[in-house]
Amino acid sequence: RDRRERARAPKSTRARTMASATVTAAPARATRATRRRDSSRSSATSPRATSARTRARARASSSSSGALDALLGATIIAPGGDASVRASVQKYYGETLSTSDDLKTSACCTPSEQIPKAVREALREVPDEVKAKYYGCGSPTPIGIDGLRVLDLGSGSGRDCYVAAKLVGENGSVLGVDMTDGQLEVARKYVDEYCTKTLGYAKANMRFEKGTIEDLKAAGVPDASVDMIISNCVINLSPDKPAVLSEAYRVLANGGEFYFSDVYCDRRLQEDLRSHEILLGECLGGAMYVEDFKRLCQAVGFTDPRVLAGHEIEVRDPALAELLGEAKFYSITYRLFKLPPGCLETLCEDYGQYAVYNGGLPGAPNAYQLDDHHRFEKNKPMLVCGNTGSMVGETWLGKYFTLVGDRSTHYGLFDCGPSPVAASSSAAPGGGACC
């Protein structure tokens, strides 16, 4: 009868009754729990038990992190683990492909309109064999990098390194890291002749080391030792993308930048597609969902990833197109700046600042394109959010800009407007706080 009366009572009354019963029962449960804790306390605090708990927590954390990475496509799960993924990539680029004409998609092809004039001119002097073995998807070589220390992740035949060796000048340096012997052999073949005879330097300012981009320390790259990292359609091939970004963040000096092109997808791919040998080699299998990639950047410390350019990739092979269904892939050039903590925020904030491009940057006499929706005309003041202000005023770009104002007064969110790349349905997804 009591149960029937409680059932007829208003919900608020039943809720109070249940809450009262819970409170009444709680002391008894707490007492029993206390007795159990007291009886096991001595054994639980022993060194062996503490060690076991630590190991269990580490396993649980590792398992959780691994599951999340797999979901996000940040890791490639394949029979044989990371070693088999790397072996597959080495075979594809070292043996299967003879030249870029053997590719089955346009993923590893760079549209000529995305290549700056200074880079196009430098490319004319690069040895033909180096260019023939090129499998990049964008133009990840920024202009105006004279005197900088440049690192190329997954340098392959070295095409981008040869271009960078000219752009950084005799006082700059270029290091390429790759794991494929065949590619390294081609890259090293022309170094001395190109640097001393073609460029006229007293000695070579470029070298290549064998190693993986997930462990740059093993390749001899110290902390905070480079100003600019470039990479061309390589990160998607890595079985451990969080490690790649973490290592990039480690070796960059404050004010440095990771400027790179890679392949991304408009969705999360199924596991069997992510480990498919040909899709992996064609830079599609390892492509991350673009929104997950931005989350990964922010987790590592690259708080505001900016899109510079992007285009959709064409899958030419009918069998691969059928496998991929409606998934769309994009080549995107990203800019990731490293600044001290607090300089970059997750959203565009307004501090009343403005920036002026003073000119002087080689290849940009009249204007400078920071990203897909920030173009600075020479000598024209432009209102900027705090993040954009830091990017042009507190990085390697600072000598070309004047930033006026500080962050002492906050005016709320800054309206940067939508990224054109993000807004266009026919273009690549955009990224960053200013989008």
More confident residue, 138 or 107: 138
Euclidean distance between CA atoms 133 and 136, whole angstroms: 10
Mean pLDDT across 337-364: 95
Euclidean distance between CA atoms 370 and 397, whole angstroms: 10
Q: What digits encode the pLDDT tens for the residues 151-174? A: 999 999 999 999 999 999 999 999
Mean pLDDT across 62-85: 50
Residue 64 has pLDDT above 50, yes or no: no
Q: What digits encode the pLDDT tens for the residues 212-244? A: 999 999 999 999 999 999 999 899 989 899 999
Mean pLDDT across 378-384: 98
Neighbours of 212 (CB within 10 A): 21
Q: What digits encode the pLDDT tens for the residues 249-306? A: 999 999 999 999 999 999 999 989 988 889 988 889 999 999 999 999 999 999 999 9
| pLDDT-derived band at 129, boundaries 50, 70, 90 | very high
210 SS3 class = strand
- Report the pLDDT value the prediction gives residue 419, as an integer from 0 to 100: 61
Element of type H or E holding 258: strand 252-265
- Report the pLDDT value the prediction gives residue 363, as an integer from 0 to 100: 87
- Is residue 256 within 8 A of residue 338, CB to CB? The reply is yes
- Report the pLDDT value the prediction gives residue 418, as an integer from 0 to 100: 61
Q: Look at residues 388, 333, 363, 358 and name the one whose alpha carbon lies nearest to residue 144.
A: 363
Per DSSP bridges, beta strands 173-178 and 149-153 are: parallel
Q: Look at residues 406, 365, 314 and name the one whose alpha carbon lies nearest to residue 143.
A: 365
| pLDDT-derived band at 134, boundaries 50, 70, 90 | confident
Mean pLDDT across 118-122: 90
User: Strand runs (DSSP E) across 79-153, as ranges?
Assistant: 149-153
Least confident stretch, 96-100, 115-119, 155-159, 232-236: 96-100
Q: What digits encode the pLDDT tens for the residues 179-220? A: 999 999 999 999 999 999 999 999 999 999 999 999 999 999
| pLDDT-derived band at 430, boundaries 50, 70, 90 | low
Element of type H or E holding 123: helix 117-123
| pLDDT-derived band at 41, boundaries 50, 70, 90 | very low
What residues contact 213, with CB distance under 8 A and at least 6 apart?
Answer: 153, 154, 177, 179, 231, 234, 235, 238, 244, 247
Percent of the chain surpassing pLDDT 90: 60
Query: Please, what's the b/e burial string for 52-76 (b: 16 or more CB within 10 A of its CB; e: otherwise)?
Result: eeeeeeeeeeeeeeeeebeebbbbb
Q: What digits encode the pLDDT tens for the residues 393-407? A: 999 999 999 999 999
More confident residue, 90 or 122: 122
Euclidean distance between CA atoms 324 and 169, whole angstroms: 44
* CA distances from residue 45 to 30, 35, 36, 41, 127 in whole angstroms, order as listed: 21, 16, 14, 6, 67
Residue 113 has pLDDT above 80, yes or no: no
> What are phi and psi for residue 116, nearest 5 degrees?
-60, 155
- Report the pLDDT value the prediction gives residue 300, as an integer from 0 to 100: 95
Euclidean distance between CA atoms 278 and 129, whole angstroms: 24
207 SS3 class = strand
pTM of the model: 0.76
Euclidean distance between CA atoms 135 and 211, whole angstroms: 19
Mean pLDDT of the chain: 80
Residue 67 has pLDDT above 50, yes or no: no
